[in-house]
Structure formats: C-alpha cells, structure tokens
A = this chain, B = another copy of it.
C-alpha cells in the first residue's frame, strides 16, 4: 500500500543511491521542458550544475519555479517529487567543489576529479533549489 516516506527514508532515498533527477521547467511559450540531472543535497537545498546556454538554464532564469522527480524504476516504485525555486549563480566559488562531488557520486570516487574539472568550466552555472513542497511515497505498486 502506498505510504509516505519518513524524513529519514526521504534523505536515504535521495542520497544512498545516486539516482538521476528529472528537472521540469517551463519554456517561454508555456510548454513544459524536462531534462535528467545529477544532483546532491546541501542540507535541504538541492544542488546541480548546468550550462548557461541550455534550455533549462534559460527557462529557470525567466521563471525560477521548478519541479523535480526522483524515482525508482522497479517495483515497488518509490518516488519523490520536489517543487521549489531555483537560484542560479555564474562564477560561483563553490562550483568546482560541487562538480567534483557530483562526479564522484555518479561516476565513482576515482573519477570525481576528472568529472569535476570537466564540468566546472566557464559558462557552467551552480543551481540551488529551495524546496517549497515535497512529496515522498513508497511502495506504490504494493
């Protein structure tokens, strides 16, 4: 039976396995846009990086309201939805730190440095999403 995750289960679901998140933003013409991202948490703040010329970056600069879904692809299909507001910063002093953390989290610790340097480049933005609403469900198909 579908149940809410506890706070502890929520953090464990987001952090213990490096799942991608799907980020939704809205285009200038009102259509929704989605893209998969690598993310990490800084306390409750969700962190990721993106190039300044990407569709998602341009959408968030126009309208910072975003939604994210992190889900388990197999039964019993746990999932988390996060609605929040994105703050984008260029030339952020923490960009390399987070790019390395994300590289290590998704590609393995031995590749953190390589992926950090690959992604912490000119034009790459650091994005911080402050959640306004969170839904976290487990055992959807049970």
A residues adjacent to B (C-beta < 8 A): 19-20, 22, 24-26, 30-36, 63, 65-69, 71, 73, 75, 77, 79, 81, 83, 106-107, 115, 141
8 Å CB contact of A71 from B20, B24, B26: B20
Identical copies in the complex = 2
The answer to whether A34 touches B22, judged by C-beta atoms less than 8 angstroms apart, is: yes
Q: Give me 7 A-to-B residue pairs in the complex whose CB atoms sit less than 8 angstroms apart, sorted by A's number.
A: A22-B34, A24-B33, A24-B67, A31-B65, A31-B83, A35-B81, A107-B141
Residues of B within 8 A of A31 (CB): 26, 65, 67, 83
A120 to chain B minimum Cβ distance, whole angstroms, is: 16
Return the 6 tightest CB-CB contacts between A and B, nearest first: A24-B32, A24-B24, A22-B22, A34-B69, A36-B71, A34-B67
**In-complex Cβ contact of A30 among B24, B26, B71, B77 (8 A):** B26
Pairwise interchain contact B67-A33, C-beta atoms closer than 8 A: yes
Smallest CB separation, A9 vs chain B (Å)? 17
